[in-house]
Structure 1
């Protein structure tokens, strides 16, 4: 028996894996998609229209080839109505927006206690003397690497618990350049995690320690990495122009004729930081120039990688184009860049969460509150601590609550309450 015209249209996931369906989606030929739904599932134009949020005459016009869909917002609405799975959305050129799972809410995460880390940053905590067998660079490198993996997974509480003992493991009275480079790296990590937790003043202290250690190491890569930490700390405290000037100063220096892969990656990551700083300083020209500079470096690198923990490469550059577009208020450009990215292609949890949050900011600028909410929820599922502890996320959620339409008001308030966002 034929289904009633008001019976909800259920499209099995395997339908979207058919070669003809994939081809139609790749061509954005919604008329062909509707024909396949009718042929394969026996769906009437009325049922397709109800599912896709269209009128029956609209569906008829698309199927007859009299009309095509190019508007992104309309594509989003049709994709949501037909409940396209992630792989089908990608073929249509849309980002893979996960649906919220209200049955399994993400539990609140308590903020980490910083007392021990603050004490470890105090000058009186520095250990004098020469390196001992306990200061084996290989062991210290392994400890830093383990802490950085936790950071990349957005497990900031674990990093904060680890950092005091790690920082106190480095002596101060020696001339071992490799050990000083590792010291700079450890303070760079401390800078990064303090920024995540909103402690910008302490982050500046840690960045200064990283710069001093890098200077004693005499190693160009360590110096570049520490300047990257400094630009990040300056930006976290709102000093975007000063951060941009740090990067421009580095670019004004003569680069070595032959550079290592690590040097190229760290320099590229620093340039990307400068592009973000320029965008936040409303310097559109410099932001785009630095993005293009970084793109050239990424092409030289040849592929995405994680040299010196930078995750620098073509994908990283594209992700920064999203961030820069958001900072400049170009919401449409940000979403276009984001659609060219695949979240599953970002191996680092921190980067996936950052992308979702940039997408949320872009949609909020655009006035698409439901999409913004879904993107924040996606970031929360990927990295609860990233969403729970970032002051910038709290500001965005507060704005979402204030501007949300009635259909989203209760969900956005629940999100704010769960994240501890004050009114």
Structure 2
């Protein structure tokens, strides 16, 4: 991995943004490619989804909606060990997401004047689960459990048709849907799936009704499609290529650190793996371990391409204080802390999608069974964005109720502000009530 030596100098925030390795994400460019696809789905509906499946997925599904029998068959044929693991992941995710549920409340603003704070789930959501280089039943769990805990009543899920499975999504995806009770599954992938969920389509007797919110990971074209339909529907985020940062000192085990950098590089040749450390000796040891471990696993070429790419590297700093400043500037999707005081250091971090503390909390734990959500902000957007959570499927609503006396007590202030803004009819709405009811 290439090295970026920041020792011996104080680097400004602007320079950190320039020198830190980062995966390129040209969502605007991808949006220009995707926009005509969305327009075609809007104008032509289901027929274009079949056409695009043949073009991009090399298969024409028999139907866009997956038959119930296919879901049942997929669950019946699921490896028992995988089923048990998915059941564990679902149970843990329900616990982890339940703690995110906001609590309604009622506040008395003045005597007789109250505001009730409500949290209401959206009526219907569309979940996207990608295909590509890997199969992601875990993404079914992450998306669906968060929506179900939020109380969403209607869920549609889209995943690309697979040539190897007669135009159906991967059977492990279908089995995960069956385990979660999701019976509306569509064999549609890519940007066209996002468009179909957001706009709705009719395919013979099957109707994909438009949703209120679309969530789920995907490639840059999926991210671009989300950008273009935002406003018509809500979205979670424009997720980019996966990334990990590891903050480590000389107490870290280089075997663990190397394994975790490799685990993210396994996703994609464009995946980003970044080590930030104040220990050149650790950096050397991690490089040695990468050379050993990467050649012992399945996707060696993909991993080495990612680790040798411009988006990955080892950043050398003078001390942990500077290391913390660097990881905050980077704002990683996944951040691991391998330091002597890992918990204390983790609580000093502001910008990260999710933080994994200590040597026995690797990112893959969060990918599957930790109970956290693995759909996280990438590309430094963790400075303003959150990982997928129940609030993505909730709306905040305030219910305002005032008595006549409570309104009367505030009418003078209301009128003063209304007239200051040049909106006298606003003030009149309160004055009329005072006149009709008498001053009490």
TM range (shorter): under 0.3
**Which of the pair has the greater relative contact order for Cα pairs under 8 Å at 6+ separation?**
2
Could you say which structure has the higher strand fraction?
2
Could you say which structure has the higher helix fraction?
1
